[in-house]
Amino acid sequence: MKIYLYLMLLMLMGCDSINSKISKIYPSENLESEVPFIIIPNAGCPGCISSAENLLIKYRGSNCINFYLTRVVSKKKLKIKLGYDVLEYENIVLDSLDILSEVNVSGFYPVIIYPDNSYFEISPDYPNAVNELEGYLEHNCHDIER
């Protein structure tokens, strides 16, 4: 039965945009808004993940960006690393079921997904992804201190 449900989930997500796929997984999340979000895996490229985590610390609590933490093994270690209150912010979601791994991103690098469904991995192949996101946020967000 579980295999059948899993296959149905995969089929439903097959041809949709990344935002629509995640909205099907998390229907309560408004991902079709004008807010970019970052999927941050727990393990992978250490420097890349650190860059994404620095953004999370800088923009936690902001209405301009959301963060999805996936493949988290220990909430305790996560809180030690990112702050005890990290999961209390509305713009930070813990993907405890590891469902976001189904949206066809590598899982090794953090991924920035913009409202227009364009997405970029924070990786050695695209080192400007973080700077471009910060430029986007400064230009499009009004609750960020400049």
Among residues 65, 52, 51, which one has the least CA distance to residue 140? 65
Among residues 125, 122, 102, which one has the least CA distance to residue 112? 122
List, for residues 104-130, the tens digit of each pLDDT value: 566 789 999 999 888 899 999 998 999
Q: Is 15 helix (H, G, I), strand (E, B) or coil?
A: coil
Q: 3: which 2 tokens?
A: 């295999």
Mean pLDDT over the full length of the chain:
78
- Tell me how many degrees the CA angle 96-102-107 measures, rounded to the nearest 5: 75
* Percent with pLDDT over 70 in the chain: 68
Per-residue buried b or exposed e for 131-143, using 16+ beta carbons within 10 Å of the residue's own CB = eebeebbeeebee
- Between 2-13 and 18-25, two packed helices, what is the crossing angle to 10 degrees? 150
List, for residues 5-43, the tens digit of each pLDDT value: 333 444 444 445 555 555 554 544 544 557 898 999 888
Q: 98: which 2 tokens?
A: 């590891």
pLDDT of residue 43: 84
Q: 79: which 2 tokens?
A: 């809180």
pLDDT of residue 127: 83
Sorted by sequence, the CB contacts under 8 Å of residue 146 that are 6+ apart come out as 138
Q: 113: which 2 tokens?
A: 């997904």
